[in-house]
């Protein structure tokens, strides 16, 4: 029987072979800067920087399954808040995927308070810009089809090849929503997998029972593979146990309402003595103030975005902690570029700081050439450099 790993560890019998199923990589990001009007799911313009951070965060972790999880504050009834959290999660997911029809449906919402109208139009016209970079609407949010709104609509219709009548009919609203969704840096790749879930007023992060921005939030969980455990729908009144598991499994927690630090891509590959990738090795990585944990992939790789400017770190696995030196390497066709690669791959090398093709480096090159099946000349020729780059990665 396979034991499923749980946060905090699992119990196995000493002296007996036991299979432990390791969890997929899970990342958690929360956003309490996504703004909505009371009772509505429309994503207000001040939310756009947070949406752009979602795009940046996904680009740093491509291919993961995204679960958009909605939360409300503790005011109001359980059922009401559960529905509202689901709607807001759905609105965020639709925005990230440019699903215009999903947003247009809110203009026909059965409940008057939830229905979108001129207030939402004015918000979008105030964010979308013309050819000069100026917004179409700069007036107050009146929620009425007043003369200033009609003037803005006429200019928008003219610029977008629409019938110019100053009225926000279905055709004009479709183009307006499309333009609002296509603001720079707000759309995930077409093949991204998004799911939504609402937790309502359960799982608060602040104790207050009143209006609270912290509790009224959207969170993202990014899973390597399917969402596991799968969300319970609907979320029960006392909260779903799966949420606590997602939080516990997350190897990274980040606030996407704060500016994202510039990062560099750090890739480490663990291999055995025969240079075969080591799959499923548990590790802990510390670089600067950033901590990561997980297991190596099938190719032995550990991939993380770490703070730009990081020069040192530690990697712990198999019970040992190894110091890391992080630096940009030259091309492997030069001694200074080949030496750290050869050393990291276990072939030894000469003085990495000296950067000369000395005798020790030549021996390391010959050992590498022999391993990959090419002429053992000890020279850093084009074939050797290409093989070294292929084996080590760029």
Three-state SS for the chain is: CCEECCCCCCCCCCCCCCCEECCCCEEEEEECCCCCCCCCCCCCHHHHHHHHHHHHHHHHCCCCEEEEEECCCCCCCHHHHHHHHHHHHHHHHHHHCCCHHHHHHHHHCCCHHHCCCHHHHHHHHCCCECCCCCECCCCCCCCCCCHHHHHHHHHHHHHCCCCCCCCCCHHHHHHHHHHHHCCCCCCCCCCCCEEEEECCCCCCCCCCCCCCCCCCCEEEEEECCCCCCCCCCCCCCCCCHHHHHHHHHCCEEEECCCCCCCEEEEEEECECCCCCECCCCEEEEEECCEEEEEECCCCCEEEEEEECCCCEEEEEECCEEEEEECCCCCCCCCHHHHHHHHHHCCCCCCCCCCCCCCHHHHHHHHHHHHHHCCCCCCCCCHHHHHHHHHHHCC
Average pLDDT for residues 103-130, to the nearest whole number? 94
pLDDT of residue 49: 92
What is the residue-averaged pLDDT of the chain? 87
Higher pLDDT, 90 or 324: 90
User: 106 pLDDT exceeds 90?
Assistant: yes
21 confidence band (pLDDT: 50, 70, 90): low
Give me the domains of the chain, ranges plus CATH numbers: 28-96+182-259 (3.30.1330.60), 99-180 (1.10.101), 261-325 (2.60.40.10), 335-392 (no CATH)
User: 150 pLDDT exceeds 70?
Assistant: yes
pLDDT of residue 230: 93
User: 18 pLDDT exceeds 80?
Assistant: no
User: 326 pLDDT exceeds 60?
Assistant: yes
Higher pLDDT, 338 or 195: 195
pLDDT of residue 5: 61
pLDDT of residue 147: 97
pLDDT tens-digit readout, 296-305: 888 888 888 7
User: 159 pLDDT exceeds 60?
Assistant: yes
Q: Which stretch, 24-33, 41-50, 242-251, 348-357, has highest mean pLDDT?
A: 41-50
6 confidence band (pLDDT: 50, 70, 90): low
Q: Which stretch, 208-212, 322-326, 347-351, has highest mean pLDDT?
A: 322-326
Q: Which stretch, 183-192, 230-239, 330-339, has highest mean pLDDT?
A: 183-192
């Amino acid at each position: 029987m396979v034991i499923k790993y749980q946060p905090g560890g699992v119990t196995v019998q000493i002296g007996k072979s036991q299979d432990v199923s390791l969890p997929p990589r899970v990342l958690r990001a929360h956003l309490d800067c996504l703004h909505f009007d009371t009772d509505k799911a429309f994503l207000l313009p001040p939310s756009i920087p947070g949406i752009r951070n979602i795009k940046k965060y996904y680009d740093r972790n491509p291919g993961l399954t995204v679960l958009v999880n909605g939360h409300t504050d503790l005011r109001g009834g359980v059922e009401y808040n559960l529905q509202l959290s689901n709607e807001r999660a759905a609105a965020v997911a639709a925005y990230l995927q440019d699903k215009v029809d999903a947003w247009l449906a809110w203009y026909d919402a059965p409940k008057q308070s939830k229905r979108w109208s001129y207030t939402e139009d004015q918000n979008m016209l105030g964010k979308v810009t013309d050819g000069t970079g100026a917004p179409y609407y700069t007036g107050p949010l009146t929620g009425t089809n007043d003369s200033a709104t009609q003037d803005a609509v006429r200019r928008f219709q003219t610029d977008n090849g629409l019938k110019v009548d100053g009225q926000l009919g279905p055709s004009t609203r479709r183009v307006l929503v499309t333009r609002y969704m296509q603001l720079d840096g707000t759309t995930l790749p077409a093949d991204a997998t998004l799911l939504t879930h609402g937790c309502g007023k359960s799982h608060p992060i602040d104790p207050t029972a009143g209006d609270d921005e912290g509790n009224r939030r959207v969170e993202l969980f990014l899973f390597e593979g399917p969402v596991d455990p799968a969300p319970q729908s609907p979320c029960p009144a006392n909260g779903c146990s799966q949420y606590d598991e997602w939080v516990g499994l997350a190897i990274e927690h980040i606030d996407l309402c704060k500016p994202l630090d510039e990062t560099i891509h750090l890739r480490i590959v663990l291999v055995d003595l025969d240079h075969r990738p080591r799959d499923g090795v548990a590790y802990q990585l510390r670089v600067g103030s950033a901590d990561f944990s997980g297991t190596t992939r099938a190719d032995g790789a550990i991939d993380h975005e770490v703070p730009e400017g990081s020069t040192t770190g530690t990697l712990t696995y198999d019970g040992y902690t190894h110091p890391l030196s992080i630096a940009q390497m030259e091309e492997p066709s030069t001694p200074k570029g080949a030496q750290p690669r050869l050393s990291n791959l276990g072939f030894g090398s000469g003085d990495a700081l000296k950067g000369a093709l000395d005798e020790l480096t030549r021996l390391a090159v010959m050992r590498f050439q022999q391993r990959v099946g090419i002429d053992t000349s000890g020279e850093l020729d084009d074939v050797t450099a290409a093989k070294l780059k292929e084996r080590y990665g760029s």
